Chains A and B, each alone.
Chain A
């Protein structure tokens, strides 16, 4: 199997995240970043499939210079090689533009040996739209088997369990395809000391948009199909009323709910 796993470098969710006052984009410069936690599940799934079925995994990220950290972490976990698409023109790209770049990069990776599986996380922890995998599938004209909570690979057939909105669905398709996995899928490993050492020697290529043949005018903030007109910080919730249970906590709760007309 020739596998590409797409990972995103995101601002740390536990840090305060803000908008850039100048161009209404997410301010990624101001806060520390890391490999999106949800993409660790994609990395783990890629490793599990490779270890069971053989082949090679390339980690792919599109992002600013510090995004190299996300590639490094994936290599430390055991991925074989990395591709970092780095180009100033990408700043401010929306999901559609990101998927354009990812699809072009997958095609370039596949120029040597065709790609069988593109594995993504369920959503990025910053934008959390959960649309890039479907967009990449659409651009590559590939089937998508997405939001998988359980994955089984059997030759060219991929079967997954998808905990859908109203039902549990069992979906199957043949490779090549785009797979996205949820946090129910597996338990991501921690990089071992050996893995950390080995990662230093693994090949990482840095590609520009020109390397991919993507017109810079098709990406970035100016090419976005949507625009943030304005934003506002939600008012902090005003301090609530807190009571300590002294044998009547339940009654006080019931009374509050009655006053608020909930009960």
Chain B
């Protein structure tokens, strides 16, 4: 069975859930091998093995983390040349997609971005994508080279597996051209104690209808153990940080439950949440387009509805 390379998504060594999901997908397609960029692979051996990584290629060269995108693409290209994997899987995020893009050109290999599923097929892997703000589902195949696929978080369920997780250190040559864009400073996002927006199974978002006070939205989110999101109107007004924006120019989320409160449901917002399994809205305007999408909607003032719901949920929990 061929190896399938999974690029590990980690923050200073802490491995995120999307990586475990990719390892589960890789397990369907071949033998999962993790690729760990930057120092600290030793600390991740245990968790990567537990989710199915047979091998862990560690590429500790600090150039990989001190520069943007290009060195990772170079390192991956060298690894693909030497390993000959059946596919390369990368978490779909800003940097992941760009690494995949450069790699695709280097290897003259087909690239599929934002896949929500990858399955083995008779004529090669079949990837599933949601396009046009989720209005269509497409099934695609890579017809040239090594399939390079970026996969959205929440596209698979991590599978506990007892795999070897054998650490193998890899030396790569990083060109000086690839080191031309330097990361001079990195400010990690403030931790909120809530789940990561793109990984959460429940997301509660607030929009202009909050009037600038997100406390009802946050309290409701916390009663459900949810992540908090925001519309662009709320972000542009400075009410919530941009990193929480859901939509075309923010994050795409696909949780089990999405609650839109005080959000009208503009096409650009829908683009980021339309594939959520269950959609709920609270909006005081019964004509708001968001109601076209919902499984359950409350026409009412979120300032009254959300606190009452929060109280009721907390009471039920006992």
Chain A residues with CB under 8 Å of chain B are 13-14, 17, 19, 24, 38, 94-96, 99, 122, 125-126, 128-135, 137-139, 141-147, 149, 159, 162-174, 177, 182-184, 224-234, 237, 240-245, 248-258, 260, 262-263
Q: Is the interface of A mostly helix, strand, loop or mixed?
A: mixed
Partner of A99, one of B105, B202, B267, B280: B105
Contacting residues, chain B, for A231 (C-beta < 8 A): 136-139
**CB<8 Å pairs between A and B, sample of 25:** A96-B110, A122-B249, A131-B113, A133-B98, A138-B101, A143-B181, A144-B181, A146-B69, A166-B188, A171-B183, A173-B181, A184-B242, A226-B112, A231-B138, A231-B139, A243-B299, A244-B300, A245-B300, A250-B304, A250-B305, A250-B312, A251-B308, A253-B308, A257-B313, A263-B313
Assembly CA distance A248 to B102 (angstroms): 54
Assembly CA distance A243 to B298 (angstroms): 5
User: CB distance B134 to A234 under 8 Å?
Assistant: yes
User: CB distance A165 to B140 under 8 Å?
Assistant: no
Contacting residues, chain B, for A258 (C-beta < 8 A): 313, 316
Chain B residues with CB under 8 Å of chain A are 11, 68-70, 73, 93-102, 104-106, 108-114, 126, 130, 132-145, 177, 180-189, 202, 223-224, 242-243, 248-249, 256-257, 267-268, 271, 278-280, 282, 286, 291-301, 304-313, 316-317
Q: Is the interface of B mostly helix, strand, loop or mixed?
A: mixed
User: CB distance B98 to A134 under 8 Å?
Assistant: yes
Assembly CA distance A257 to B309 (angstroms): 10
A158, closest chain B residue (CB): B181
Assembly CA distance A191 to B123 (angstroms): 50
Beyond A38-B249, A146-B98, A245-B304, whether A253 also contacts B316 by CB under 8 A is: no
In this complex, which of B100, B101, B140, B300 has the most chain A Cβ atoms within 10 angstroms of its Cβ? B101
Contacting residues, chain B, for A251 (C-beta < 8 A): 308-309, 312
User: CB distance B143 to A171 under 8 Å?
Assistant: no
Contacting residues, chain A, for B308 (C-beta < 8 A): 248-251, 253-254
A24, closest chain B residue (CB): B138
User: CB distance B70 to A143 under 8 Å?
Assistant: yes
